[in-house]
Amino acid sequence: MRTSFLALMATLFLAAGCAEPPKTSTPAPAPTTPATGSPVSASGKARIALLLPLSGGAAPIGQSMQQAAEMALFDTGAKELALSAYDSGDTTETAVEAYRKARAGGAALVLGPLFGTSATALAPLVAQGGMNVVSFSNDESAAQRGVWIMGIAAPPQVRRVVDHAIDAGVKRFATFAPQTPYGEQMARTLESHVAVRGGTVVAAELYDPNSADLMPAARRLASETQAKAGATVGGGGKLVILVPVAPPRVSTVLASLTAAGIEKDQVQFIGTGVWDVQGIGNDTMLRGAWYAAPDPARRADFERRFTTTYGRPPHRLATLAYDGVALAGHLARLKPGGDFSAEAITNPTGWSGVDGIFRFLPDGRSERALAVIEIQAARNVVVSPAPGTFASRPVN
């Protein structure tokens, strides 16, 4: 296993940050904005900052992403980059401090942080003339010009699988989701996109996520869908039910729907990326269900190489760090010293990575070309491949 250059750099940086300042008899000067270093190193490389949770509860995720970033340096031959890791911890305060240190170090671009709340906290610093941020978060509420969200957001996943269902001739939709901000957002996304595509949402039931008994909510959904079976567009056809619930809870949810009289062979269950986990097909209730995600074949190759290099499989989010470094390498080659401007980042033709092609929108969101995947017992199967280009595709 290679010695992790990035881990060494992070350790040295943190150690320096914890050093006790020298004692002096003169009064301390008033705080000032730290001077920024050159965005180009002495050897002509563009300085790129990697903000990851290297301490705290998410440290294992941060370490896996750090190793993926290091692997990207070797795989892409990104000789134009000087990558430095900063510990963003798991709070907004530590993320802001890491950003300030990266700025003082002369970073030309920041990759990270991981959490949406931390990305939001960096926005005022970016607006004050700081470096652009490409966050690994998938929280679209944190997106704005200067702070781009690279994570795979859930609303585009719902829209992609709805498109596939409508293209297959399905017109009736329903939602059975927890009454949480996530569940409510997924229900709204389904309703708005189905309307755009000419379908009908016949029912939407939000259940108490803390309740052990889901039967009352399941019966209400079953009753409403059956009552509207003949009174809506495509009323005699199949019904699609969005269930944005992660395992193992999803098993209980689907069992409740079945017990309420919703026949599996009469509906098409769809979900989000929370289903994109190993062994999801072990649940017989989920077999045949659809969700949208990056093409698994491309990620499988990355996972094999990562495991060979580091002796353990990567965290699912590690591909974001890998693709982020590859993106920085592309930007660094656009001109001497690199071009990390908003205009360069938001190139409408997009970028290619382990998780497929993606592009950044002017408002800070990202768009990804996702595949539609059907859950099966042995392995999941792509039933609608991810598009290979953004040409002629409208912005969602």
- pLDDT of the residue at 230: 55
- Shared-domain flag, residues 344 and 206: no
- Shared-domain flag, residues 201 and 316: no
- Shared-domain flag, residues 102 and 198: no
Answer whether residue 19 is part of any domain. no
- Shared-domain flag, residues 248 and 201: yes
- Shared-domain flag, residues 254 and 376: yes
- Shared-domain flag, residues 158 and 140: no
- pLDDT of the residue at 33: 39
- Shared-domain flag, residues 225 and 198: yes
- Shared-domain flag, residues 259 and 319: no
Answer whether residue 26 is part of any domain. no
| Residue 125 β-bridge partners | none
- pLDDT of the residue at 228: 74
Answer whether residue 18 is part of any domain. no
Q: Are 269 and 241 in contact (CB under 8 A)?
A: yes
- Shared-domain flag, residues 377 and 234: yes
307 phi/psi in degrees, rounded to 5: -65, -40
- pLDDT of the residue at 96: 98
Sole residue written with tokens 């019904």: 239
- pLDDT of the residue at 236: 52
pTM, 2 dp: 0.83
- Shared-domain flag, residues 49 and 141: yes
Residues 6+ apart with CB under 8 A from 351: 323, 326, 327, 330, 357, 358, 359
Answer whether residue 30 is part of any domain. no
Answer whether residue 27 is part of any domain. no
Q: Rounded to whole angstroms, how far apart are CA atoms 231 and 172? A: 11
- The CA distances from residue 1 to 60, 71, 317, 327, 351, in Å, are 18, 11, 21, 25, 30
Q: 141 exposed, middle or buried (CB, 10 Å; 0-12, 13-18, 19+)?
A: middle
Give the CATH number, domain containing residue 343: 3.40.50.2300
- pLDDT of the residue at 337: 87
Sole residue written with tokens 């309420």: 260
Look up residue 197 and give its amino acid.
R
CA-closest candidate to residue 385, choices 294, 324, 289? 294
Residue 273, CA atoms < 13 Å, CB-side half-sphere: 21
Kindly state the DSSP code that residue 352 receives in the 8-state scheme: E
- Shared-domain flag, residues 223 and 353: no
Answer whether residue 331 is part of any domain. yes
Answer whether residue 145 is part of any domain. yes
- The CA distances from residue 216 to 223, 229, 257, 338, 343, in Å, are 11, 20, 10, 59, 52
> In which residue ranges of the chain is pLDDT below 50?
1-35, 231-235, 394-395
Boundaries of domain holding 186 = 154-293+372-384
Residues 6+ apart with CB under 8 A from 284: 377
> Tokens standing for 217?
């909510």
The beta-strand segments (E) located in the chain are 46-52, 81-87, 109-111, 133-135, 147-149, 172-178, 200-207, 239-242, 267-271, 290-293, 351-353, 356-360, 366-368, 371-374, 381-384
Answer whether residue 393 is part of any domain. no
- Shared-domain flag, residues 240 and 378: yes
Task: Report how many domains make up the chain.
Answer: 2
Length of the chain: 396
- pLDDT of the residue at 378: 82
Q: 264 exposed, middle or buried (CB, 10 Å; 0-12, 13-18, 19+)?
A: middle
